[in-house]
Amino acid sequence: MEAVDNGPMLREALLRHRPDVAVVDVRLPPTFTDEGLVAAIAARRDVPGLPVLVLSQYVEQLYARELLADQAGGVGYLLKDRVGNVDEFVGAVRRVAAGGTAMDAEVIGQLLGRRSAPLARLTAREREVLELVAEGRSNAAIASALFVTDKAVGKHITGIFTKLDLPPSDDDNRRVRAVLAYLQAAPGGR
Amino acid sequence: MIGQTARVTRVGEWLLAAFRLVAGVVTALVALVLLLALVTGLVLVPVFGAGVPVVAGALGATRALAELHRREAGRVFGVPLAGSYTSQPSWSWRDLLACLRDQQNGRDAIWLAAHGVAGVVVFWMTYGLLAALSGLAVGAGGPFSVFTFPVLVIAAVIWWLVPWTVRGFALLARVLLAPSDAALTRRVEQLTDSRAAAVDAQAAELRRIERDLHDGAQARLAAVGMTLGLAAQAVRSDPDQAAALIQEARADAGKALAELRDLVRGIHPPVLADRGLVGGLEAAALLCPVPVALDIDLPVRPQAPVESALYFATAEVLANVGTHSGATAAWLRVRYAGGALSVVVGDDGRGGADPRRGTGLRGIERRLAAFDGTLRVTSPSGGPTEITMELPCALPPPASGPSSPRTTSSSATA
The mean per-residue pLDDT over the stretch B348-375 comes to 83
Domains in chain A (CATH in brackets) are 1-103 (3.40.50.2300), 105-190 (1.10.10.10)
Residues forming a β-bridge with B411 = B295
Look at residue B163 and tell me whether its pLDDT is greater than 50: yes
Question: Residue B380 gets which letter from DSSP?
Answer: -
- Give the pLDDT confidence score for residue A16 in this predicted structure: 87
**Which residues in chain A have Cβ-Cβ distances shorter than 8 Å to B410?**
none
Interface contact flag, A33 B275, Cβ < 8 Å:
yes
What is the per-residue pLDDT for A165?
65
Contacts of B250 in chain A (CB under 8 A): 84-85
> Is B271 an 8 Å CB contact of chain A?
yes
Q: What percent of chain B has pLDDT over 70?
A: 91
Asked whether the CA dihedral B406, A63, A17, A73 is positive or negative, the reply is negative
**A32: closest chain B residue by CA:** B274
For β-strands B410-413 and B292-296, DSSP reports them as: antiparallel
Out of A40-54, B126-140, B246-260, B332-346, pick the least confident. B126-140
CB contact under 8 A, B288 and A187: yes
Q: How far is B9 from chain A (nearest CA, A)?
A: 50
Dump pLDDT digits (tens) for B315-331: 999 988 888 888 888 99
pLDDT of A173 above 70: no
State residue B83's pLDDT score.
76
Share the mean pLDDT of chain A.
Answer: 79
Q: How many C-beta atoms lie closer than 10 Å to residue A129's C-beta?
A: 27
Which among A13, A183, A43 has a CA at the least distance from the CA of A113? A183
DSSP symbol at A118:
G
Closest C-alpha among B381, B83, B414 to residue A187: B414
**B291 closest CB neighbour out of A58, A65, A189:** A189
Confidence class of residue A93 from pLDDT cuts 50, 70 and 90?
Answer: very high
Weakest-pLDDT range from A48-52, A54-58, A128-132, B167-171:
A128-132
Residue B237 has pLDDT above 60, yes or no: yes
B307 within 8 A of B301, measured Cβ to Cβ? yes
Q: Which helix (H) or strand (E) holds B287?
A: none
- What's the ipTM? 0.75
Nearest to A116 among B250, B273, B289 (CB): B289
Strands (E), A87-169: 101-103
Separation between Cα atoms, residue B147 and residue B145, nearest integer Å: 5
Average the pLDDT over B258-262 and give the result: 89
Distinct helix (H) and strand (E) counts, chain B: 11, 6
Sign of CA dihedral B337, B338, B341, B343: negative
> Tens of pLDDT along B37-81?
988 888 887 777 777 888 888 888 998 899 888 888 888 887 777
Q: If you average pLDDT over each of B65-79, B139-153, B336-350, which comes out highest?
A: B336-350
Contact assignment for B283 to A60 by CB distance below 8 Å:
yes
What does the pLDDT look like over B167-192, one tens digit per residue?
898 888 888 888 777 777 877 888 88
Cis omega (within 30 of 0) on the bond before B269? Answer: no
Residue B411 has pLDDT above 50, yes or no: no
pLDDT of residue B410: 44
Question: Which pLDDT band, with edges at 50, 70 and 90, does B249 fall under?
Answer: very high
Q: How would residue B405 be classed by pLDDT, with cut points 50, 70 and 90?
A: very low
User: Per-residue confidence at B353, pLDDT binned at 50, 70, 90?
Assistant: confident
Q: Is B288 on the interface with A (CB under 8 A)?
A: yes
- Exposed/middle/buried for residue B395 (C-beta within 10 Å: 0-12, 13-18, 19+): middle
- Kindly list the structural domains of chain B, giving each domain's residue range(s) and its CATH number in brackets, ordered by start: 2-179 (no CATH), 195-267 (1.20.5), 272-413 (3.30.565.10)
Interchain contact B275–A (C-beta under 8 A): yes
Q: What is the mean pLDDT of residues B247-265?
A: 90
Q: Are A40 and A12 in contact (CB under 8 A)?
A: no
Interface of A to B at Cβ within 8 Å reads 8, 30-31, 33-34, 57-58, 60-63, 65, 79, 81, 84-85, 106, 110-111, 114-117, 184-189
DSSP label at B131? H
More confident residue, B384 or B396: B384
Q: Check pLDDT > 60 for residue A183.
A: no
How close, in Å, is residue A189 to chain B by CA atoms? 7
pLDDT tens digit sequence for B190-215: 888 888 888 888 898 899 999 999 98
- B221: Cβ–Cβ under 8 A, 6 or more apart, which residues? B252, B253, B256
Q: How many CB pairs under 8 A join A and B?
A: 60
Residues near B75 by beta carbon (within 8 Å), at least 6 away in sequence: none
Q: What is the pLDDT of residue B404?
A: 38
Q: pLDDT per residue over B105-120, tens digit each?
A: 888 889 999 999 999 9
Confidence of residue B407 (pLDDT cuts 50, 70, 90): very low
Average pLDDT value for chain B: 84
pLDDT bin (cut points 50, 70, 90) of residue A188 is: very low
Q: Which residue of A has its CA nearest to B257?
A: A81
pLDDT grade for B2, boundaries at 50, 70 and 90: low
Chain B CB contacts of A81 under 8 Å are 253-254, 257
Q: How high is the pLDDT of residue B366? A: 84
- Is B265 an interface residue toward A (CB < 8 Å)? yes
Mean pLDDT of B385-390: 92
